[in-house]
Structure 1
C-alpha cells in the first residue's frame, strides 16, 4: 500500500470519528494523519531493518512482525522455494545467547549435527549452591577410639573422595546430552537452518511442552527424545519449505529441585540439572555426616522408594546400576551410620569401614582391596570388645575369614611377613666383588660363605691389589651408621641453636647473624651427606690377605683398590698437593706436611687429622703426624674459627663432606 492510499484511509477514519471525540477541523485531521503516517513509516522501516539484519525474509525463524510486513508487501504468498534474492547469507538472531558458538552450524553434516551438543555451553541451573564447607565433619566416637588405640588417625572409607565439599560432582557446564534424554518444559534448544532458508534461533520449551516458529507454528517437543529432535523439527519445517538442512542442540537443561535429608553433611534443598543423578546430589550435599551411612542412600519419589544406593558399590566397584536420574521433587534420605570396623596393617587401603549385617572378614578385606604382597595371608589379628568392654586380641585363620562375621567396634590387623629379617643361615647371599680381582662380578653364594670363598670365586687377587685399602660396605651397617650420623647432626644442631657462636663480646649482632647463617649452611651440608656403610677391616698395612673367616651377608660389596703411590696434604697449607711415596724409605707424615710448605697462619694446628686408606681417622693428639706415612694417607689441616668448641668442628666436618665414604668416621672423630 502506497503512502497516498494510506493517507486517504486515515482521513476517512477520522471523518467517521464522532464530533464528541474529535472536534478538530479538516486541516487539523490532515495534519494528525500525516504525523501518524510518518511515525508508522519510521517504525516499519526500523522493524524491517532490524528483522532483515537478523534473519532473511521468509525464514520460519524470523519474528512475527517481519512476516506480517512481508504479507503486506506482497499480495501473493511467498513461494516454498525462495528466489535467489531471498537466499542471503546465514545470519544470527540477537536473542540467541549462544549465537557465537554456531557460526559454522549451517555447514554441519548429519553426523556432526548429532553431536553438536557436546560443544554447547550447558548453562547449569544450580541456583541453590551448598554452603562452602570449611572442614570435613568432626570425628565420630569410633574414629576417636581408633586414633587413641593406634596412635594415628584412620579415615572413614570414602571420605577422602567426596570431602571436602569444594570438589564439584555436579553435572559439568559442558556435557553431552544422551540420545535417550526426554525433552521437557524448561529445556532450551538451538535450531540452525541452512540451504534454501538460513538462520538460527534458540527457543525454550514452554509450560505446555511446545516451541513456536513463525510461519511453521507450534511444535510439541515434550517427551521427545534427543535422538528424535532433529527429525521432529525437520518434519515441521518441511510442511512449508524444501531444500534445507537442520542442526539442533540442547543448549540449556531445565532445573529441578530435590531435597537431601537425613544424616547429610549439608542437608537442604538443591536445584540441579535435569541430567543429575542420585550420586550427584549426595556429593553436592557434602556426602554423609559423621553419623551418616555410606551404605544406605534412599531415593523417595511421591512417597515411594524408587532406589536404594550403596556408595561402597560405586566407590569400590564402579557400580551405578542403582544411580537413578532425579526428577523434580525427589527426596534423598541418608540413613544413620551402621557398625564400623577399623582395618589396619598390610592391606591396600587402611581405613574405617562400615559393615552391613551378615558381612564377614572376607567382605571387609575386599573393601580394603585385599592384602599387600608382603602380608601374612594365612591369618589376621582381631581386636574385639568383649562384654566387659575391654579389648582382647584373637588370631583368626584364613579358612575362617568367610565364616567370621564382623561386629561394630572391631579392629582388624593384617600382619606382614615379607619385612621380617631371617637368620643369616637362611639368607641367600648376593655379594659384589670388584677391583683388583681376576673375575669381578656379582656372586650368589649359600648362607655362611666367608671372605676367602667369595674371593676364590672371583679368581683371587691380582699382583697390584692393595688389601689394606679394601672398601668393604654392608647394608645393615649403613643403616646403623645413618642412625648414629643423624643423631650426631641433631646434637650439633641443638648446640648451634642453644649456644652463641662466639665468646667475643665486641662482636656485633650482624656478625653473630652471619656466623649463625654459616653454621646453618654447614648443618645443611651435613644433612645432605650420608654414610655408605663402610666397615674398617682389621688388616695390617703390610697384610696380604683379607679376613677370610668373616661371614658375608646379602648385598655386601667388596672393592679392592690398586696400591696407591701418593700421600695427600690438603687444607690450610701453602701448597696443597699429593706427594709420591719413596720406595724403601720410611717417611713420617709431618715430613709431607713440611713438603707442602707447612701450615698457614690461619691454620688450626691442634685439630689436624689423618685419614688412612682403610677408612680410619686419627687426630694429631693421638700422634698421627709422628707415624710413618702409609700409601693413600690424607693429611687435612683445618682453619681457625672464632670458637673452637662449635663452629670449628662444623668447619672440619664440612671440609671432608666431599668424601662420603669417610664422612661418618670423620664426624665421630672430630666431635669427641
Structure 2
C-alpha cells in the first residue's frame, strides 16, 4: 500500500509539471528548481537574471529567456550527454518556485490610476478595473481603449460592463495599457437667464426642455423667444436660435441635444453686452457706441488665470460666433473689434494641460502650468530624467491612440509639442475581492487564506453602502466567467443568511435608478423634482413638490416623450393622475376671464375670478343692472362677431354662459311712475335702473310738492 501511494504522488507531480511546462515561458526574475534524478550533485535552484540567463553546475551559463519548462528539460538533458558529464540521458524536471510580477497599466478617469503588479500572465479587464478603484464620475466608459504591449490599439465599450455585466471576459496581457477617457467634454453647458446655470451631464435622448428644467427653469428676465444653441457641426461651432415658447406649446418639436452643446438664454433687456466665462467679474456691461472687445473685458476686471487665449463673440445678428486671440489683440497684431447691443462675449476656460506617464519607475498624471510649454523636453525635466546620449526611445500615444516613437537623445537638438491627454511610455498570496460603485471605500478587499469571505463582511469592510445605493440589486461578477448574478443584500440580512465568496470576484453596487419629473410654468417652485424609492409618482404629488399652483394657473400639459395630454385642474380632485419618470409637466397660464358691458348708466370691462361662473346673470349683477322684471332685449356680441338677443325677464328661469371677451349691449331701461295731485309737474315720470324706486324719487322727478300739499 505504501508503494502505491508513492507512485500516485510522483504521477501528480509529473502531470502538473507537464501542464505548466506546456503553457509557461520563463522570464527575467523567475525562480526555478532543477532536479536531476539519480544525480543530486547536479540538482540546483536558480534565479533568471535580468539578461535572461541561469547558471547550471558543470554546464555553465544557459540562456532561458522565453523558453518553456519542457524545452529547458530537453536542453539540459542533451547538454549533460554532449559534454560527457553523463553517459546516458538523465531524467530532469524543471519547476517554477517563484513567478516574476507582470505589469498592467490603467490610466485616465479611474479612482486609482497607475501600474498594477500581478502574478497572472493574463487577467480580465473587470479585475483590473476593480484594482484601479472603478470609474470616476467623469469617465466615459463607452470610449475606452486598450493599447497592447505591441503598440496596437483596441477600442472597447465598457458601459455594458456596468449596465449588463457583460464584457468582464475581455483579457489584458502584461504591459497592456487600459485608458478610460473623460466624458466632461460631452456635457451640456447652460448659460444665461436660468435659475441654476452650469453643466448638465449628457445622455442619449436628452432634450432642450429637460435641460432647462434641470437648470431650475427660466428667470423672470429671460427671453424664451431667442434661445441660442451653440453646437458642433463637423469642425465648426454653429449657432442656432429657437423659440422655447413654441416648443412648450407643442408648435415645435423638443430638439434632442448633441454632445458638448452650449445653451444660452439671453436677457430681455438686450441693451447691454453680456460678458461670461473666465473674467474676474462676469456681468452685463452697459453699451456705449464705439465700445470695443478689449474695453468690455477691461470693464469686467480682466481675465482670470484660467482663461483661454481664444475669445468668442456671439453676435446678436449673426449665426456663427466670431473668434479672436487675446494675445494678438493686446499686441496690436489684430484690430480690436467693435461690439453691438445684444452681443455676448464668452471667455472660455483654458483646456487642462497634462499627459499620462507609464514607466516601471514612476507613472500617473503630470500636469503643466499655463506658463510651461507642453513639450517632451519639459516633461523629461519635470520627471528629472536625463536624455543626452540615451539610446532608449520615448513612445507617445495621442488621445486618438495613434503611436509615435522618438529616441531620447534626439531631444538634445530638438523638442516636440505634446497634445493634452497624451500617453507617454518610457522603456525600462492572498484572496482579493474588488468592490466598486455606491460604496464608501471602493477598491480591493484582501482575505487571508484561512478566512472564508462572504458578501456581508466584504460590504462592511468597504465602509458600507452609500445612501443612494440599490441594495436589492448588488451584482457579483465572477472574473472566470462572463456571466454575473444579482443579490438582494437586505433579503440576506433579514433572513440571517450569508453569501459565500471564493475570491477574485468583482462586486458592483449600483445606485438607485433616479425617479424624477420636470415641472414648468405656473407653479411656485418649478424645476426637476426627485421622488423617493417608495413615493407614488402622480401629477398631484409633483405639483405639491413644486409648491402648488400660482393664482394664474390654468390647464396642465403632460408630455411623455413625443406624446402630450392636457389635464384640467378639476381632474385632480376626482383622483390621482399617474405620470412616468422623466415626464415634462407644463402648467399653462389660465386665459383671462372678462366681458365688456356697454350701457348709458354704467359699463366697462367686468373681470371674473377663476372660481366664478362666466354667465350673463353674474355679469349684470356685478354692475347692478340685473332686472328680471323687464322685457327689454339685451344683445350679446361674441368674439367671433356672431350676435344673440336675450330678453331680460328670461334670466329668471335660465342663465347664459358667456365666452371671454363677449360684449353685452345693455339698453336704456326706464321705469314708469304716474304722479298726480299737488306736485309742480303732475303726470308720468321715468326712473332708470341707477335710481332708487322710492316715493321720494318719484315726487322729486315730478318737480316736488306744492305749498298747499298735505304731506302728513
Q: Which structure's residues are more often helix, by fraction?
A: 1
Higher strand content, 1 or 2: 2
Normalising by structure 2, we get a TM-score of: 0.24
